[in-house]
Structure formats: C-alpha cells, structure tokens
Amino acid sequence: MAGALKLKIAPLSQPPKGVLVVFCDDALKLGAAARRALADAGDLVTRAAAAERFKGKNGSCLDIVAPAGLAASRLIVIGTGKAADLKPQDFVKLGAIALGKLPPSAREATFIAELPNGAIKPDAAADVVLGARLRAYSFDRYKTKRKEGEEAPSDRTVTLAVGDVAAVNKALRGRDAIADGVIIARDLVNEPPNVLFPVEFARRCLALKKVGVSVDVLDVKQMQKLGMGALLGVGQGSRQDSRMVVMRWNGGKRGDAPVAFLGKGVCFDTGGISIKPAQGMEDMKGDMAGAACVTGLLHTLAARKAKVNAVGAIGIVENMPDGNAQRPGDIVTSMSGQTIEIINTDAEGRLVLADVLWYVAKKYKPKFMVDLATLTGAIIVALGHEHAGLFSNDDTLSERLLKAGLDTNERLWRMPLGPEYDKKIDSRFADVKNTGGRDGGSITAAQFLQRFVADKTPWAHLDIAGTGMASPSSDINKSWGSGFGVRLLDRLVAENYEG
Ligand code: BES
Ligand code: MN
Ligand code: ZN
C-alpha cells in the first residue's frame, strides 16, 4: 500500500530510538517518561523554548537538531495546549503533526504518548496513530525517482511508547480499519483515468471480499434489463463499459434493514458533448470520489466488524464525447420510469445516481440512504473547500450527519430544498430535465436526485466536489484525493446504528 508506515507499540519504559517526539502542555510541562528520556539534556528544552518563544500552544512545535546530551538525532517537542481541553480529533491532529515533523531522512522515531499527568489514554493513543498513518500517506506509485536523502515511506518505523500496550493494540484495530478505508479511497481518487476505468474500478472492489464484504458487479446487459437508461446514457459514448457495484456487509441482526451508502463514480468527466474547457480538465479523474468513499467505507465497516447491515452501491461510468455519445435534447427513461430530458451532458452525475438511488431504495428498503457525489462546481462557489454540502429530506439524519462531521472534522453545511427549486427542473418535453440553470445549481442538482428517492426513504446527499479532491492540504492529508467521507460515515454508523 502506498505510503505504508511501520508502527510499533511499546511500553513507556522502553528506551526511545531514533528521532524523539514528546508532548508538552502550555506550561511547558512534560510527563514522567519524557522527563526521564530527557534527563541527560539538563535544561535544554526550557532554554530552547525561551529562545524560540515556544509556549506549548496546541499544534505548535519546537524542533531541536542534535540535542546535546541525548543519543537522539533530533528532539521534537509538540505543544498540546491545555491537556484537559483535548478532544479525540486533537489527538488525530497531534499524531499527524508529529509525523509531519520527522525529517524525510529519518528511519526511526519514537513518540512518547504521554501528557504531563500521565500516559495518553488508549483510545486517544490509537487516535495519534490514526493521524500519523493518514499524514504518512503519499501516492507515489507512478514516481520512478526519489529526491536525494529521501527514504521510501515503508522504510520508516515509528514506535509509539504507551502506558498500556495491550489496550492500545486493541483500540488500534478499529483505527487501522479506518485508516485503511481512507487510504483505499485516496488511492482510488488519485489513480489516473487511463488506469482506473469502470471495469477496473469494479475489479478493485472485489478485493473487499477478503474482509467479508459480498460484492456484486452488474454489467451493461444486466443494467439494461433493469431499465437503467439514465446511468447507461452517460456511459454510452465511452469505449469503456459502465458498471454498477453493490457491496454488502452484514454485521448486524439478520433481517434488520440495512443502512445504505451510494456513490457517483464518474471515472473521467469530459463533460461529454457539452464538453468542458481544457483548463483543469485533468482534475476530472477525481469525479469518482463519492464511489471511492463508499468503497473505503465498506472496507472500514467490515474490517472493524461493525454491528450493522450496510449496503454500498456505486454507479461507475466514463463521460466521453463520441459518435455514440448522448446529445443535449435526448430523452432517456430511468429505472423509476420517469423520463429525463438531457439539457447538458455535463450534468451527468445526477443521471448516474438517479438509477442507483431508485435501485437501492426498491431492492433493499434501507433505514436511510446517503449518497456522495462530486456533483457541482456550484457547491465550491458556495462553501469553498471546508464544508461539503448536505441536502436531506430528514432532519434526524441531518442532525446525526452534522454531529459526525464536527466529531471527525469532516464538516458539512446543510443547504435548502424546496418546491420553488424543484419547479426549475420541470421539462417541456419529459418528466424532468437534468439542469435547472445557473442559480442555486447545487440545490437544483439535489432536487433532481430527490425525484429518484423512492417511497420517502430518509435520504441525504453530500456534494463533495470541494472536499473530495484538490482540497487544501491539512495536517492529516497531503494527498490530492482526501478520502473525505470515510471517517464521517464510519462515525455516523458507530454513533447511531450499531446496537
Ligand atoms: N463533475 C462535475 C462537477 C465538479 C466540478 C466537480 C468541479 C469537481 C470540481 C459535474 O459533473 C459537472 O460538470 N457539473 C456541472 C453541472 C452543470 C452542467 C449544470 C457544473 O458544476 O458546472
Ligand atoms: Mn460533469
Ligand atoms: Zn461530473
């Protein structure tokens, strides 16, 4: 796996190796094990802190090269602010920051997982590891050269020195499942579109069988039989065949209605006949970030044996201009029976999701459906890259999603729906048209999706165009594809639907 990092868990009593990382609060206080490890360095930290005006503020860092008196090649002191104020996400962030401070040449490092008042609790220590693993990720599969002095990430070992080794190892099982899920999603988003076309995406989903997920791949013929004219219309201009993948994890009670997650999987979006401008078009390899998230999430739920029944369904297509491509003016019939007038072939994500939404609601009668899609440029205009847009027909589901967003720092902002917006997608020739004009573009896109939510199923749509890819790098993510949504939806399930 790209960017894998070797992690060891050791007791606080074990002498540290390599680069030494310790945590201090805003009174510059260290824990007992850290003080022991630094005993031979005298008042080095106090003096360095004064010289650098380091105050132990949360997330700040004091970096001392070749610390006198110590065997370590480098001492990194990370501030935590007031230790009592730390929330779970702060530990994820601190782990990421610590990993980020390691020089590229460092082969070994020891993080002393301790606050002034004692060892960092097992769950929080596991969060430190989660942050470090997410930060360590880089997509370098297609790099044949490395910069001088840089180690391959797999050559690096980080030892986390902790209070209770067994308890941390136990807490780590769930965190590793989460990190692996995020990394699966990032890898999929980062892959180039010549490599990751729909059939290949479906093939990669099959790997989830290893963790106990059942995976069904539907080909074009099967989708034709189901009447999925909306999804198939998008893919018809591509040399690459479309697919739908349904992944299922049954960790809950037999017969208990599943929770369902749906993803837009446009492996490349040229816009089709309504072709996009050349500038930045390469980013449209990430137009499958919703489907990537669903795939990573199903891995996470299965790998941590979540006590829930879950369905993950993704529509995978390539949107190309071609002699056989769909035209503006075409009318297609969706699986729901509703006819759709194509106004703009670049509004293709909603067409793909229309059939997936209908299929999942009818076939699985889920407790709720959440779809994720890099659906509109307009959501980036509205919310930038800090929040994904949330649209929903259900206040309880919305509240739970918003809360999970705050807890994981994968934040959402609820946007409106309503009949005034819905009117804008009435078509002159068909039941509905696939664009509602420039104004409120993300909202009319969501209204379109809502017309394909069968039987009033509780539903939420997350527009992740601004957060799933090309979002600004953060402490826990330096990669182009962020894996946005995996941690959010894993938390949604863990907090509300497991028992
Ligand atoms: N995949 C795009 C949306 C997008 C834009 C994602 C920028 C990420 C970054 C989507 O298929 C699209 O083209 N939407 C159009 C809709 C319009 C034609 C109604 C858009 O946003 O311009
Ligand atoms: Mn498009
Ligand atoms: Zn698109």
Residue bearing the CA closest to ligand 1, atom 14: 376
Q: Which residues line ligand 1 (CB under 6 A)?
A: 269, 287, 344, 346-349, 374, 376-378, 435, 441, 465
What does the pLDDT profile of the chain (499 residues) look like in tens digits?
445 689 999 999 999 999 999 999 999 999 999 999 999 999 999 999 999 999 999 999 999 999 999 999 999 999 999 999 999 999 999 999 999 999 988 999 999 999 999 999 999 999 999 999 999 999 999 999 877 766 665 579 999 999 999 999 999 999 999 999 999 999 999 999 999 999 999 999 999 999 999 999 999 999 999 999 999 999 999 999 999 999 999 999 999 999 999 999 999 999 999 999 999 999 999 999 999 999 999 999 999 999 999 999 999 999 999 999 999 999 999 999 999 999 999 999 999 999 999 999 999 999 999 999 999 999 999 999 999 999 999 999 999 999 999 999 999 999 999 999 999 999 999 999 999 999 999 999 999 999 999 999 999 999 999 999 999 999 999 999 999 999 999 999 999 999 8
Sign, CA torsion 336/342/347/348: positive
Is this structure's pTM higher than 0.85? yes
Q: Annotated catalytic, 350? A: yes
Separation of 499 CA from ligand 2 center, angstroms? 40
Q: CA angle, 489 as apex, 301 and 245 as ends, to 5°?
A: 65
Distance (Å, rounded) from C-alpha 327 to C-alpha 330?
5
Task: State the Cα–Cα distance between residues 465 and 384, nearest whole angstrom.
Answer: 9
Other Cβ atoms closer than 10 A to 51: 9
Given the structure tokens 């994968």, which residue do they identify? 410
Quick check: is 424 catalytic? no
Within 8 A by CB and 6+ apart from 201, the residues are 188, 243, 245, 265, 267, 288, 291, 314, 316
Ligand 3 geometric centre to CA of 444 (Å): 15
Centroid of ligand 2 to alpha carbon of 270 (angstroms) = 7
CA atoms within 13 A on the CB side of 314: 34
Please identify which of the residues 8, 29, 204, 276 carries the catalytic annotation.
Answer: 276
Cβ neighbors of 389 (< 8 A, separation 6 or more) are 379, 382, 383, 412, 413, 415, 442, 446, 461, 462, 463
In terms of C-beta density within 10 A (0-12 exposed, 13-18 middle, 19 or more buried), how is residue 454 classed? middle
Size of the chain in residues = 499
Query: At residue 429, what is the residue type?
Result: F
Q: Are 483 and 477 in contact (CB under 8 A)?
A: yes
